[in-house]
Structure 1
């Protein structure tokens, strides 16, 4: 076996080890949370439960939905909670191939990406969900009782959690592009009209078909894009001076 083949095998073995650690963390969290799956689902469902009309409640239309839906929620929550471990394992695998200067930049970016992801999820739960689930029952046609299915609610929650979590990563993506020299802050600023249109299209695709959630996703994305440009420009100038 050549040195190149040995190096490839060692990288694959390390990658497998990193993936196993990430998956093991997720499984441990699932085992811890599974006994409380019902209670966890009730907490996540509070934004819709608190806005249902008196005498109405959520429904389960599937035969196994009362069991499977809270269980799926636990799995998804375990993945979300495990994000720092998952990102660290990716970082630990990639880090040996980076220069010292790149490592100094990468560490705060990684920490920021984790914080921003959780900030996006929290923004979705505490700000967006209450607004959406006040709006939706109010537009139900006369004679229609708004009683959301628990599985459909889970689909929307997961979609919005990841939509807002990933949307809040925009500054990180912009800073990386600027620091790597792929683009410049000036070019991004000039392309602002196209970015605005793109952001509203993405918000429309990622959120439920109501204007409130689309606007609530688009506005933070625009603000974070501008913040990313400013920070990228600042860090680029700082690195050039040093």
Structure 2
């Protein structure tokens, strides 16, 4: 009740610092509770998730031990416990992502303009599918990179791969592919914000493509040619799509009439009441 009175007294809807801190605390508690619940679910469903993660390794002939079973080793007494805890936490982070993303958005959104909110919807609506497409491609590619390096193992030698090494390799592949697929989206956002023009993108196109291949060679954990190409080629394709969208956006922006065209330096600009009302409406929507 007290918070509603303060917001009603302030026409811009601003909140005191302590109210902001209380809201942040409440939203952090909700996000952490959702993460805890997701981690518990991940702990319960550890076995099928672990079977899914180790499947690319088990598909390789080099993964079989003397008894013909897929074998990964643990180093240390607590390694198996921390493996289960790590996978449960990662799965909990994914399961609870709708909750903590909503809490983050609910805290930030009141301080954004309507146009900034539309950009955020566009970014999140494209970023999440792109990330999962990248991780799916990484999962398909994991066994190819492993087969190249494990192919050098002699036939009479058993490859003893630790669980920590394999899990670190798989997680690095998933994150690198998922985050790299977000890079073309930043090109589109910067173009929509007027920071990066399509002309500058076309002028630097060769250097950007070269940089994508260099980044793919450095960022991939295995750094083998197949994994590098599997990351670089789709990223280049996504960059070309982003460049096309930037070109279409600049073309659409250029068709808009300039209200200040033809005015001399000492001539007053035309007063547009509709634009002023729109700006006042945007100011009222700020937190």
User: Structures share a fold, TM > 0.5?
Assistant: yes
CA gap of 1:73–1:62, structure 2 versus 1, over 3 A, is same
CA gap of 1:95–1:239, structure 2 versus 1, over 3 A, is farther
Aligned to 2:36: 27
Q: Which moved more, 1:149-158 or 1:132-141?
A: 132-141
Structure 1: runs of 5+ lacking an equivalent: none
Aligned to 1:156: 169
Is contact 1:60–1:150 with CA below 8 Å preserved after alignment?
yes
| Rg larger for | 2
Structure 2: runs of 5+ lacking an equivalent: 1-9, 257-287
CA distance in 2, matches of 1:145, 1:51: 13
Aligned to 1:137: 150
Alignment of 1:28-43 (within 5 A): 28-43=37-52
Aligned to 1:74: 88
Aligned to 1:205: 218
CA gap of 1:93–1:233, structure 2 versus 1, over 3 A, is farther
Deviation at 1:166, TM superposition (A): 0.8
Is contact 1:117–1:169 with CA below 8 Å preserved after alignment?
yes
- Which deviations, in whole Å up to 9, do the C-alpha atoms of 1:151-185 show, x marking residues without a partner? 11111111111111111112321111111111112
CA distance in 1, matches of 2:30, 2:249: 33
- Which deviations, in whole Å up to 9, do the C-alpha atoms of 1:112-131 show, x marking residues without a partner? 11111111111211x21132
C-alpha RMSD of matched pairs (Å): 2.5
Tell me the TM-score normalized by structure 1: 0.85
Q: Given the alignment of the two structures, is residue 173 of structure 1 paired with residue 182 of structure 2, yes or no?
A: no
Aligned to 1:230: 244
Deviation at 1:28, TM superposition (A): 0.9
Report the count of equivalent residues: 238
Aligned to 2:128: 114
Is contact 1:15–1:93 with CA below 8 Å preserved after alignment?
yes
- Which deviations, in whole Å up to 9, do the C-alpha atoms of 1:180-216 show, x marking residues without a partner? 1111122122112222232233223321232222221
Q: Which has the higher helix share?
A: 1
Tell me the TM-score normalized by structure 2: 0.73
CA distance in 2, matches of 1:130, 1:87: 32
Q: Given the alignment of the two structures, is residue 12 of structure 1 paired with residue 21 of structure 2, yes or no?
A: yes
